[in-house]
Structure 1
Amino acid sequence: MSRLRLLSAAALLTLASAANASSFIATTDAVVGALKATSDATSDATASLRDNKIVRAAQDDAASFVASNGQIRSVKLESAFDTIRRQAPQLQASDAELAQAILAI
């Protein structure tokens, strides 16, 4: 009788691990798909911003903004923020995040 219980437990563990593995794969596929969609949207937005003269002209001001923790703001930087928010409203980024993105361009 103990042999039957042992075999049943082994079969149950095998089935449980197979179900767990397939659940993990499905979850991973969903997460990777969502990240890829976000990355594609961000890539498209930043590619057009990289060529924007207003955004590129604000790079020095963005550096001052970041270095001063947002205390130093300029007309060029505000104009760049407005341009970015108009061209890529899906980003929903703070001024600090936008300034750092301008520096990365």
Structure 2
Amino acid sequence: MKRSVLLLSLALMAATPVAFASSFAGTSAGSSAGGSSASSGASSDSSSGKDDKVVQAAREDAASFVASDGAIRGAQLEAALRHLREQVPQAREASDLELAQAILAQ
């Protein structure tokens, strides 16, 4: 189980900086340049930033889920689990508890 959590954590961490960088670059470029190419880049990058926000917003729910050994399941965690299973191939085989631990390990 620990190995799969480690692998999921690495997969999530590998995807996260791209989302942060894309979101940051899109915001910076859109506000400072004001040009059409900058604003189109910002809009295309906004979905990856949104995806990352789904996982980040679930941290508190993930902590409750892990601490309660799966008894407490928040809506934000449910959304993040769905999102991760759609976006990260390794997440499809992981249990909910493993994914929640991976969210906390970020």
Give TM class, smaller chain: 0.5 to 0.7
Change (3 A) 1:97 1:82: same
Aligned to 1:103: 104
Aligned pairs for 1:68-87 (under 5 A) are 68-87=68-87
Asked if 1 retains the 8 angstrom alpha-carbon contact of 2:12 and 2:102, the reply is no
Q: How big is the shift at 1:48?
A: 1.7
Percentage of pairs with the same residue: 52
Return 5+ residue gaps in structure 2 as ranges: 1-6, 20-51
CA RMSD of aligned residues (A): 2.2
Q: Distance in 2 between matches of 1:84 and 1:49?
A: 12
Instruction: Indicate if the aligned counterparts of 1:66 and 1:100 stay in contact, CA closer than 8 A.
Output: yes
Query: Where does the alignment leave 5 or more consecutive residues of structure 1 unmatched?
Result: 1-38
Q: Which has the larger radius of gyration?
A: 1
- What TM-score, normalized by structure 1, do the two folds share? 0.55
How many residues align? The count is: 66
Tell me if the contact between 1:45 and 1:87 (Cα under 8 Å) persists in the aligned partners. no
Q: 1:78 and 1:49 mapped to 2: Cα distance?
A: 19
Rounded Cα–Cα distance in structure 1 between residues aligned with 2:80 and 2:12: 14
Moved over 4 A (4+): none
For the residues of structure 2 that align with 1:97 and 1:46, how far apart are their CA atoms? 15
